[in-house]
Each structure stands twice: as structure tokens, then as C-alpha cells.
Amino acid sequence: MSTSTEHFGKPVPQPLAAEASQLDALNQWVMEVARLTEPARIQWCDGSDSEHDELVELMQDDGTLLPLNPDTHPNSWLHLSDPDDVARVEHLTFVCTGDAETAGPNNHWMAPDEAHAKMDALFAGCMRGRTMYVVPYCMGPIDSPLARCGVEVTDSPYVVANMRIMTRMGAAALARIEREGSFVRGLHSIGELDPERRFIMHFPEELLIKSYGSGYGGNALLGKKCHALRIASYQARQEGWLAEHMLIVGIENPQGETHYIAAAFPSACGKTNLAMLIPPESYRRAGWKVWTVGDDICWMRPGADGRLWAINPEAGYFGVAPGTSAKSNPNALASIQRDTIFTNVATTADRQPWWEGLDDRVPAKDWQGRDYDRNNSPAAHPNSRFTVSAKQCPSYSPHAEDPQGVPISAIVFGGRRASLVPLVFEARDWTHGVLVGASMGSETTAAATGAVGVMRRDPMAMKPFCGYNFADYFAHWLSFDKPGAKLPKIFHVNWFRKGDDGQFLWPGFGDNLRVLEWMIGRVKGEARAVDTPIGALPKADDLNLEGVELTPEAQDKLFAFEREGWLREFDGIAGYLNEYGGRLPSALLVEQKNIAATLRG
């Protein structure tokens, strides 16, 4: 695949030149990066097993990867981050567009010239003595018309190993780039892992990402949030599709019909659990099945039939470990018994990975490699992760690699709300549904730095990830409602409603299928609901609750419409929407005012 040239006196592998090759732009950019960063050597990655084995051996030798128990977790490894580098850093993440209004109040903005100067000063000479890896990758099935390619340049072999799992990385992606001549450029260096010298810059108008000073997944695996959401959302608006922070799950009923649902929840709010849901025993006996297409990111576009069709641009899962157990997510647990990279989990005495919520064993080492001390709990970092191929999931969908994607029957929004918000409700129409998504709120989790448990507005679960002004993003969503469109129904769920004792009222996990069944019934025009100002709500007996014991308080609050509370909520929504000024689509303000007026009676 490669030849060698000389660069800084060192052998430098490069792809073979092709006649009139579209790789000229890629080669030129790589050499510009090399002149800036001054690596000791350059390695073009082909994604092969032998290359992967060499990288793993390298990381074992330098202590970057620690082997786990080969009998219980074959070909699995543990990576321990710098303690100051364990989550996304939203306050250091910027969108760099020609003007601040394009980025919007939902993003930190920096002028492109200023951002380039700042980043290039950090990158100057940063790879001296290191290998610079060139990682061509494809987000989405390699032959899908909706897939998009990128190239990440990085000095982290840990990043290369993860990108091999999370994307279609290597020779096939490079071949597609050569055919198409278009790709997203991503430049990454771990730098010195200094929090004071850490920035993640996005240049949507240039299809470019620059990330410095972090080795954490969301900051360093540039194909993931940086490309597949921040850059892709901008691309999607230009090209007429949607790039969303959504899982994709297929629900097959006993009649053999499969309905695909896309659902947006903020990080660490149960997306992976829902994507890999195992039906309750009574449902399994009846013939219900669940198919996992994706657990985190969804790219959707209108098909010739007017429906939205979706692909999962990722090839793997970068899942949150704490709370994953045989009870909460047996499929995820089964997926990570082999060929998995664990990050910042604890380990048992026999070097098995461990985290809070897994089981009742006591770990030997915590996530910083220290002897476990209950006084220094938790043992695993709350945002510790596993990286594993999607194909290892027992519920992996046979249609996950279909180039055209899968048709979406319903879109679901949801977050953590301890009060007010019922278990489920349905939007009246597309505009109402966009308002539901635009105004959704959730309590923060450990997936981002900052306080945990604070309620914030997180439109479509895209607050950290939308690559342009939310007002324009809402308008883009509204634009799909046009003649001939057969758009999915939109719902909102809240698995996290609590009772007066502070305990969750809904059992969650596999029992969430009961709610999805009601949604599918609504899509088919078969399930009942009660109309309220906030949307259509089921009564408790509209769901199949066989085998579920709900207290009277749970039945009351999970299916309740609380007029006074919702009036205060809609006053808050008005204040939030007004933050976007005159750029906000008037249709959302009209919808908010109409619902508020109905609430006032």
C-alpha cells in the first residue's frame, strides 16, 4: 500500500501515487501537517490485523494499554487516562465560522483566523519524537450514499486503535476518498495533556477539525462527535439531511413487522440500554424481538417514498460502563466479553474489568491504577467507557449495513426529569414535535465536565454537538414538513420520573418496550390516547402493564398532565426560545404561544 520517501531525515510511508489521483489534496495536507508538527515518522494506517497487533504491542510496551484477563476477556485491554482528561470539555470546544451568528449562542465561537493561529502555535513541533498516524475512515456503511469520509491525523496509537473499532477505517475508506475527492480533515495531538493548553476547534465551512491536548474519546476520536455531529450537522443542512445524536432500534412484533425508532437522549441517559433492549419475558414468549442498528448517532435523509431513512455512521460503541450490568443491559455486557478496549474502569484481583453497578465484587485497583480504597470511591470513573465493535452485540441488526438505511417510523425525545414530565406523550404534528425537541430539558450527567444534576435545555440532545446556530437548526428540522413527506410521529419520554421518596417510579430497562409498543400502536392508528395541551397521553390501561407493579403514586404521576406545572414550563420555554432572537423560526414561537394560551384556559 505504501512507498517510502525522506522527510526530516526519516523514512515516511505514503500511499502509492495514482494517475490523476484525487489523493493529491490529501497528500499535500498531510505533508503540510508534518512540516508543522515535525513527527519522527509518518504511518499511513490501513486498518489491517497486523497493523493493529503492532499498535497494541507498542502500547503494551509503553504502558498505554494494560492487558486484561485473557481467559475471561480475551483480546481486551485497559487504558487509564490522565485524571484531568476524562470527559468532553464543552467550555474549550469552539465552532469557528465566518461570523458569530452562524455558530449561534449555543456554541462557543472564535473567528477562524484567530482559531487557526492559536491552534497552529500549539501544534508547532508537537510531534517531535512521535509517530504521526494518518487514519482514513468512513462514517457509515462503506457503500452507502449517505456515508461520508474523513482522515484523522493523530500522534496517539490509542486513538488509532479506537478509530479502527468505531469507523470503517483503512484501505476501503482511502479508496472511497480517492473516488470522491472529498473528506473531512481532522488534526489531533495529545500534546502535553495540559488542561490549560487544550482546545477542540471545528471549522464547518472548511470541513476541518483541530483538537489539541486531550486523549479522551469525544475530544480525540474525531470521527465521533466532532465529525459525525458537529461537522455533519452543518453538512446536513447544506445537503438536505439530518445528523442527530440518536440511537436507532428496530422493534419486531409477533406478526413479523419491524418498526424502526430513532431516539435522542443526552449522554448517559440510557441510549445504549434502549438500543440494546431485551424484551420482558412475556413479550419474548409472544414473539417480540429488538434489533440494534445504532446506539448514539443517526444520519437521516428523505427517501423517494417520502419517509426518512437512517444509517448509523458508526461501526462500534463507545459506551458508558458504570451501571451496565446483567440487569440493565445484558446485550451490552455480552458484547464486551472479548476484543474490547476499556477506559478508566477499575479491575479485580484477577484483572477483570469492574465498575459500579456491575456486581457485588470488590475491585483491587481503581481507575487511576491505585489500590482500591473505599474512601476514594468510586472505583471506576463515572464516565468510564468501553469501545467495542457493533457486530459483537447479540441484538445487532442484519440491516445495520444496508446502504440505503432503514425507514424511521417514530422519533423519540427524552431526558432526565425528576418531576412534571410524564412517562410518554405524542406530539400533535411535526411542528409541535420540533418544539418538543427544541425545548426538551434534562439533568446533567458525568459525560461532560461540570456540575451533575443541573436541569438545562438540551434541544434534540444536541446542545454540545450542533455545529451551527440552533435557530437555523430548528428551521432546518421544520423544512422537512413539505408536500409528499411521510414524516415519523414524534414522541417524548421520561424514564426518570421520581416519587416523593426520591425513587424512580418506572422500572425502565426492558419494560420500556411497553412504551414503544404503545408508540407503534399510535403509528399504526390502533392505540388509544387522551388529548391534552402538551400532546396525546396514554392512560395506564392503554399500555400492556402485565407483570409490572406500579404504586398508586406511580400510576398518577407517570400518566398525569399537571396544568399549573406545565404553564410554568412553557413560560420557561418562551424565555429560552427568545434567546435566539429574530433568527428563530416564527412557527416555534406561534406554537409555544398557542399551547401556553390553551394551558391558561
- 24 labelled binding-site residue: no
Instruction: With a cut of 60, say whether residue 129 has pLDDT above it.
Output: yes
Task: For CA atoms 32, 37, 43, 46, give the dihedral sign.
Answer: negative
Residue 383 and residue 291 share a domain: no
Q: Is residue 596 part of a domain?
A: no
Q: Residue 10 has what pLDDT?
A: 37
Residue 433 and residue 325 share a domain: no
Residue 353 and residue 215 share a domain: no
Percent of the chain's residues with pLDDT above 70: 95
Q: Residue 12 has what pLDDT?
A: 42
SS3 139: strand
Residue 232: give its domain's CATH number.
3.40.449.10
What is d(CA 406, CA 398) in angstroms, rounded to the nearest whole number? Answer: 11
Q: Is residue 586 part of a domain?
A: no
Residue 327: give its domain's CATH number.
2.170.8.10
Helix (H) and strand (E) counts in the chain: 17, 31
**2-10: average pLDDT:** 35
- 405 labelled binding-site residue: no
Q: Residue 189 has what pLDDT?
A: 98
Nearest to 58 by CA among 140, 126, 160, 138: 160
Instruction: With a cut of 90, say whether residue 29 has pLDDT above it.
Output: yes
Q: Is residue 178 part of a domain?
A: yes
What is d(CA 305, CA 325) in angstroms, rounded to the nearest whole number? Answer: 40
CB 460, CB 298: distance < 8 Å = no
Mean pLDDT of the chain: 94
Cell of residue 486, nine digits: 411521510
Given 205, 240, 275, which residue is the final one in a domain?
Answer: 240
Percent of the chain's residues with pLDDT above 90: 91
* Identified catalytic residue from 45, 126, 138, 269: 269
Q: Residue 383 has what pLDDT?
A: 93
- 512 labelled binding-site residue: yes
Given 208, 240, 272, which residue is the final one in a domain?
Answer: 240
- 272 labelled binding-site residue: yes
Domain residue limits at 437? 244-315+397-561
What is d(CA 551, CA 548) in angstroms, rounded to the nearest whole number? Answer: 10
Q: Catalytic: 393? A: no
**506-525: average pLDDT:** 97
- 270 labelled binding-site residue: yes
**491-497: average pLDDT:** 97
- Which of residues 429 and 4 earns the better pLDDT score? 429
Residue 208 and residue 133 share a domain: yes
Residue 500: give its domain's CATH number.
3.90.228.20
- 486 labelled binding-site residue: no
- 416 labelled binding-site residue: yes
Could you read off the pLDDT of 308-340 as tens digits, one per residue?
999 999 999 999 999 999 998 999 999 999 999
CB 93, CB 108: distance < 8 Å = yes
Given 347, 370, 392, which residue is the final one in a domain?
Answer: 392
**559-565: average pLDDT:** 96
Instruction: With a cut of 60, say whether residue 415 has pLDDT above it.
Output: yes
- 375 labelled binding-site residue: no
Residue 472 and residue 417 share a domain: yes
Q: What are phi and psi of 27, to 5 degrees?
A: -60, -45
End-to-end CA distance of the chain: 71
Q: Residue 455 has what pLDDT?
A: 82
- 219 labelled binding-site residue: no
Helices 586-600 + 563-577 axis angle, to 10: 160
DSSP structural state of residue 430: H
- 428 labelled binding-site residue: no
Q: Is residue 573 part of a domain?
A: no
Q: Residue 448 has what pLDDT?
A: 58
SS3 288: coil
Instruction: With a cut of 50, say whether residue 4 has pLDDT above it.
Output: no
How confident is residue 446, by pLDDT bands cut at 50, 70 and 90?
A: low
Could you read off the pLDDT of 177-229 as tens digits, one per residue?
999 989 999 999 999 999 999 999 999 999 999 999 999 999 999 999 999 99
Nearest to 77 by CA among 50, 58, 98: 58
**582-600: average pLDDT:** 97
Could you read off the pLDDT of 276-301 as tens digits, one per residue?
999 999 999 999 999 999 999 999 99
- 339 labelled binding-site residue: no
Cell of residue 565, nine digits: 406545572
SS3 185: strand
What is d(CA 424, CA 512) in angstroms, rounded to the nearest whole number? Answer: 10
Instruction: With a cut of 90, say whether residue 19 has pLDDT above it.
Output: no
Residue 332 and residue 275 share a domain: no
What is d(CA 553, CA 284) in angstroms, rounded to the nearest whole number? Answer: 29
Cis-peptide, bond into residue 403, ω within 30° of zero: no
- Gyration radius from the chain CA atoms: 24
pTM (two decimals): 0.94
- 539 labelled binding-site residue: no
CB 255, CB 480: distance < 8 Å = no
Residue 226 and residue 353 share a domain: no
Q: Is residue 600 part of a domain?
A: no
Look at the chain and report how many structural domains it folds into: 3
Q: Residue 9 has what pLDDT?
A: 34
Residue 294 and residue 158 share a domain: no
33: left (phi over 0), alpha (psi -120 to 50) or beta: alpha
Q: Is residue 234 part of a domain?
A: yes
How confident is residue 452, by pLDDT bands cut at 50, 70 and 90?
A: low
Residue 283 and residue 406 share a domain: yes
Q: Is residue 576 part of a domain?
A: no
What is d(CA 214, CA 84) in angstroms, rounded to the nearest whole number? Answer: 9
- 296 labelled binding-site residue: yes
DSSP structural state of residue 504: B
Residue 271 and residue 343 share a domain: no
Query: Can you name the residues that pair with 263 across neighbouring β-strands?
Result: 247, 412
Q: Is residue 488 part of a domain?
A: yes
Q: Residue 270 has what pLDDT?
A: 85
Instruction: With a cut of 80, say whether residue 267 has pLDDT above it.
Output: no
Could you read off the pLDDT of 424-443 as tens digits, one per residue?
999 999 999 999 999 999 88
DSSP structural state of residue 498: B
User: In the β-sheet with 385-389, what is the strand arrangement from edge to edge?
Assistant: 66-67, 77-79, 341-343, 385-389, 316-320
Residue 497 and residue 401 share a domain: yes
Q: How far is CA 318 from CA 11, 264, 390, 456, in A?
A: 34, 16, 10, 24
Cell of residue 79, nine digits: 487504558
Residue 151 and residue 52 share a domain: yes
Most confident of 5-19, 352-366, 451-465: 352-366
- 88 labelled binding-site residue: yes
